[in-house]
Structures are given as structure tokens and as C-alpha cells.
Amino acid sequence: MSLELSTEAPEAPENAVDGMWLECIECGETFAPFEAVRYTCDDCDSLLEVRYSTLPTWDDFDGDGVWRYSAALPFDDAVSIPEGSTPLHYVPRLEKGVGVNRLRIKHEGMNPTGSFKDRGMTVGVTVARELGVDRLACASTGNTSAALAAYGSRAGLETLVLLPEGKVAAGKIAQAALHDARILEVDGNFDECLDIVQELAARGEAYLLNSLNPFRLEGQKTIGLEILEEFRQDHGRYPDRIVLPVGNAGNTAALYKAFRELVQAGALHPRDVPKLTGVQAEGAAPMVEAIENDADEVRRWEEVETKATAIRIGNPVNAPKALPGIRETNGTAVAVSDDAITSAQRALAKEGIGVEPASAASVAGLQKLANRGVVDEDEDVVCLTTGHLLKDPDAAFEAGNEPEPVPNDTDEVLSHLEGQSSGRGGILKRLLGR
């Protein structure tokens, strides 16, 4: 990490409450955390960030899941299902195939509603409860709506979700429906849904829980904290690089914030900060464009398309927080084709790890960067897989094996198997003494 990064913990402004406040990332204006509903800066409309006057170190963490890290979060009592403590899988064959020193897969599909969005919602919905609002809303490519519906219901609050019609995977709509959200299908893309829901929030119709909401990113920091703790426990060091799919770039921003706070607390040396490496689909790659062109701002793509619907986003709202994260950690960003995403989804499935298409983008991106020599063969890498296979059953059917119809008869089943023999089964017959 470059030395531009401050290693000093910030001093609390007068409007801080219990050592916590909101601060504008552009103009530095500060606000009390819960005195009013506020998503962006009153003065310049830029993004806000939660700040703390005391930052925890590793010894301050205790327990399991997201709330193990309550010392790094705004509360210690929350609307929780619970979430976090997801597996960090070994994938020896994939590691060898990609050609890196170590490869681990942090599978966020193992959260309660099947995506990392739960980590943000446990904090965001707790803030909503604190503020005393009675209606929650989000725009979503699917997983945010599933998580918000579940956490909203858990908290006894009404939930509205705005979805781009025809572009949300079946499992995600099913979750939002059963967890009792009102589902508004918009004839438009995700970015347009977000425009509308921001308007609704500005008019006081609902509390906004997209990743524009700075409290959600606090919960998502815990992905980075879990990865660092577990990797160090297993390998005695931190990973060199973390590769993740990028949609609104909330996770990229959240992981960067987690690392910055650890550095400021003296818990992580700047040289040990992993390189944040973002992956987008070729048909929705405005962040990659900005990184490649060394641009200060991301250009909004009006037309986006990819089968990885979770990252079918043309206007990543957290770009002002995420671009510095990629740059300051010496990371990069890369775009991958839908075919490469499907191949990576199959490769993960072969290791027993079932993910939705957007999640596989991380592995596809790593493969591409390793082929190009951008990622070195000595590197220790963690790929984030963001959502579960069952989120998008249609994509799984398309990427997987065709079911083979067979007659209702053992001999005919046998002759079907022999007709298209895989050559397997010999060992079993010997073991059975046949």
C-alpha cells in the first residue's frame, strides 16, 4: 500500500456520538450518525463514510460471524440471522490449473440468504431500527432484495424492492417474495431502478438500503477481516491479493476501508495489505474502463449486458471509494467474457463449490491475469465468490450436464450407461465381488 495512506486514527469532531460520526469523502463535512436520515453529504452530495475515533486491533475481536467484529462496527446488538463465518475453501486442482502459489475461495454464498449482502443488511437494518423508520427499500439485481426482505421481516419492518424486469435470477425473486417484500418490477435496468429508489428515499417514502448507505459497507468490511484472520491462522501470513466481482463496487470499498482501519490501528503493516483486484463482465465494465484509462471518475454505461446478472451494472455508485482502493493497494481491474465466467463456474463446481455466475467472475478474472503474467506464480490469492449456485438455477442448468432420460427398467438403464460409457464403475464392481 502506498505511503499516502494516513496511519493515524482520526480525531472525533464535535458532532460525534460515542466516538462515531459520518464524514463526507470529498469535502470532509461531518455529521452526527443517527440524528437524521442521510445517505450523502448535505453540502456536496458526495458519499459518506462511517468514522470512529478508536479503531480495534485483532485482540478486540471475539465470538463468531459478522458480530465477532463488533468493535469495528457501529453496534454490538443487532438484527442478526446470523451471518458471516463463511468457509475459506482449499481448491488444490484449481490452484494448480490457475498457476499461483496458493488459491483459497471465500464462499459468501454460504450466508443465510446465500450472498454477502447479509453482512451489510445485519448492520443496515439495525440502523433502520435505531432510526425508528417503518419502511425499507432497495433497488436490486436480486441478492440485495433477498437479503433486505429477510432482514426487514426479521425486524418486523415493511420492505419494498425495485427490480429490473426479466433480469433477476429466479432464486432471488423467490426469496424476496417469500420473505414478504413488495416486489416492484421496473421496465428498465438496475441503474434506473436505483435512480427511482433514491428519489423515493429523498421524498421520505422509505429508508434506502443500497450500498450507497454507508452503514451497509461497515458490515461488509467483515469479509476482509475474516479472510485476513483465517488466512494468517492457516498459512502464517496474509494473502498477497484478493480478487472479487464488481457491481456497485461496495465490497471493493468495504474491504479497502477494513484494511485502512487495521493499518491505522497498527494491526496491519501497510506492506501486508492485499492487492484489491476487481473483475467485471465485458458487457458491464465501467470500473475496468476507468482503471485502464487511469481516469478519476467512472463513466456511466447506459447499455449493459451479461449473464452474470448480479453485476449487470453500468453506474457503480461506490466508485469514488473503490477506485482509490484498487489503486492504493496496487491492485488492478479486468473484464471477462460470459464464456469465461461459465468455464470458471464449472471449474469451481468440479471442486464441490456451487456459485452463481457473477461469483465465478473472480476466478475467471484471476485466470486471465495469471495468463497475462499480471498475477505472479508465487502469489497467495483469495477469490471471493459472492453468491450461491441455487440463486440462479437457470444459469446452472445451462452450464451443467443435460439430464438423460432413461426407461423405468434396470437392464435398460445399464445398457444406456454402457452405450455411453464413462469407463467408471470397475472399481466398485471389484469391491462388491462382481
Residues within the interface to ligand PLP (CB under 6 A): 115, 117, 143, 211, 245-251, 310-311, 356, 358-359, 386-387
Cβ partners under 8 Å of residue 400, min gap 6: 346, 349
Cell of 313: 451494472
| 27 lies in the site for Zn ion, by CB under 5 A | yes
> Would you say 80 or 385 has its CB closer to ligand PLP?
385
* Distance in Å, CB of 96 to ligand PLP, minimum: 26
Nearest-5° Cα angle at 53, 50 to 59: 100
For residue 217, what are the CA distances in angstroms to 72, 124, 223, 249, 328? 12, 9, 10, 10, 19
Chain centroid offset of residue 174 CA: 20
Stretch that binds Zn ion, among 15-23, 41-49, 163-171, 353-361 (CB under 5 A): 41-49
Name which of 32 and 155 has its Cβ closer to Zn ion.
Answer: 32
Instruction: Select from 24-32, 47-55, 265-273, 322-330 the region that touches Zn ion (CB under 5 A).
Output: 24-32
| Furthest CA-CA distance within the chain | 81
Residue 247 interacts, among Zn ion, ligand PLP, none and using kind-specific CB cut-offs from 5 to 8 Å, with ligand PLP
Q: Which does 277 bind (CB under 5 to 8 A by kind): ligand PLP, Zn ion, none?
A: none
Please state, in angstroms and rounded to a whole number, the distance separating the CA atoms of residues 104 and 274.
14
Q: 115 contacts which partner out of Zn ion, ligand PLP, none, CB within 5 to 8 A by kind?
A: ligand PLP
In the structure grid, which three cell numbers stand for residue 291, read together? 482503471
Pick 30 or 141: Cβ nearer ligand PLP: 141
Pair 104, 88: CB distance under 8 Å:
yes
Nearer Cβ to ligand PLP (30/385): 385
Residue from 17, 44, 178, 295 touching Zn ion (CB under 5 A): that is 44
Cα torsion 165, 116, 40, 6 to 10°: value is -150
Which partner in Zn ion, ligand PLP, none is near 358 (CB below 5 to 8 A by kind)? ligand PLP
Alpha helices in 158-310 (DSSP H): 170-178, 190-202, 214-235, 250-264, 286-292
Residue 29: which of ligand PLP, Zn ion, none does it interact with, CB under 5 to 8 A by kind? Zn ion
The nearer residue to ligand PLP, 1 or 253, going by C-beta atoms, is 253
Total chain residues near Zn ion (CB under 5 A): 8
The one segment of 39-47, 185-193, 288-296, 348-356 that binds Zn ion by CB under 5 A: 39-47
Q: Which helix (H) or strand (E) holds 81?
A: none
165 binds Zn ion (CB under 5 A): no
Alpha carbons within 13 A on the beta-carbon side of 42? 8
Contacts of 97 (CB under 8 A, 6+ apart): 347
User: What are the residues whose beta carbons fall under 8 Å from the beta carbon of 352, sequence distance 6 or more?
Assistant: none
Nearest to ligand PLP of 98, 395 (CB atom): 395
- Residue (31 or 190) nearer to ligand PLP, CB: 190
Among the listed residues 20, 22, 41, 217, the single contact to Zn ion using CB under 5 A: 41
Eight-state DSSP code of residue 301: P
Residue 399 contacts which entry, Zn ion, ligand PLP, none (Cβ below 5-8 A, type-dependent): none
Task: Compute the least distance from the CB of residue 410 to ligand PLP, in Å.
Answer: 42
Binding residues (CB under 5 A) for Zn ion: these are 24, 26-27, 29, 41, 43-44, 46
